[in-house]
Amino acid sequence: MSLPRYLLTLLLLFPLSTACAASQERNMDPWEPMNRKIFAFNETLDRYILKPAAKGYQFVMPDPAQRGVSNFIANIYEFNSVINSVLQGRFGGAAQSSGRFVVNTTLGLLGFFDVATPLGIEPNRADFGQTLAVWGFDQGPFVMLPLFGPRTVRSGVGYFFDTYTSIPYLIDNREAAWIFWTVEVIDYRASLLDADDLITGDRYIFLRDAYMQTRETFINGGVVTDSFSDFEEEEDWEEF
C-alpha cells in the first residue's frame, strides 16, 4: 500500500517544525519525561504486536481489498463528521458528509467503494477536537497516551467523544464494535509501514512534532502555513 498523502506532507514539513522546536518545546511538552515512558511502552507494543499484525494483514490482503477496508472505515466516520460539522455551525459541511455517507453506503456497497468523490462530493473531515478548537478551547500540552499514541489534551478529549458517538459504539453490539476497532487499528498501522524507514533521529521527537504539525493543519482546515515565508498551501486532509 502506498504511503498516505498526509504522511508524505508531514514528512516534508518536519524540518520546518523542528527549526523552531527548541524555543517551543518546553511549552508544548511539559510532561515529556512521563510521555517518553509511555512512548517506550507503545513502541514495545508496536514492535511485538501491532507491526507484525499489520505486516500479516498487508501480506494476505491485496491492495484493492485494503483500499476497500480503508474506505469502509472512513465511511463509518462520516457520521462523526456530520455531528461535528453541525456543532461547528458548518451546515454545508454537514450536508456534504451526509451526502457522502448516503452515496457510499448505498452505491458504494456499505462504503467499500468511494463513489462519492468521483461524483464531486469531496471529503469533509471533522472531529470533536476540531469542534473544541472552534469553540475556543486551547489545545493544551502534548500528551502520549498508552495504546492510543500522540495527542494534545484537546484532541484526546475529542478522540474519546468521537469514539462514544461513533456508529460502532451506538449499535450496542460490543463484539462487533471491538472487531471494527481492531481492524481499524491494524489497517491504519499497515498504511504506515512504508513510513517507518523515513523516520530518523529521535523517534519520540519526530513523531511528536509531526503530530503537532499535522494536527494544526487539520484544525486550520487544511491550510499549511510556513512560518518562515508567506507561503500557504491548501491540502486535502482526509485522515487524522
Question: Looking at the domain assignment, is residue 240 inside a domain?
Answer: no
Question: Are 150 and 141 contacting, i.e. CB atoms less than 8 angstroms apart?
Answer: no
What is the model's pLDDT at position 179?
96
The set of residues, in sequence order, having a beta carbon less than 8 Å from that of 64 and lying 6+ positions away, is none
Give per-residue pLDDT as tens, 86-126: 999 999 999 999 999 999 999 999 999 999 999 999 999 99
Domain that holds residue 89: 5-234
Is 140 a member of any domain? Answer: yes
Residue 239 lies in a domain: no
| Three-state DSSP state, 223 | strand
Q: Which residues contact 168 (CB under 8 A, 6 or more apart)?
A: 76, 176, 177, 180, 181
Cite the beta strand spans of the chain per DSSP E. Answer: 142-145, 149-152, 223-225, 232-234
Angle between helices 91-106 and 63-76 (to 10 degrees): 140
In a domain? residue 204:
yes
Give the residue-averaged pLDDT of 130-137: 97
In the chain, the number of structural domains is 1
In a domain, 85, yes or no: yes
Structural domain contains residue 92 = yes
Look at residue 22 and tell me if it is in a domain. Answer: yes
Q: Does the pLDDT of residue 12 top 90, yes or no?
A: no
Percent of the chain's residues with pLDDT above 90: 76
pLDDT in tens, 155-200: 999 999 999 999 999 998 999 999 999 999 999 999 999 988 888 8
Residue 210 has pLDDT above 80, yes or no: yes
DSSP string, 92-130: HHHHHHHHHHHHHHHTTTTTTS--TTTTT-------HHH
Task: Compute the chain's Rg from CA coordinates.
Answer: 18
Q: Does residue 150 sit within a domain? A: yes
Q: Which residues pair with 145 in a beta bridge?
A: 149
Mean pLDDT of the chain: 86
The pLDDT value given to residue 184: 97
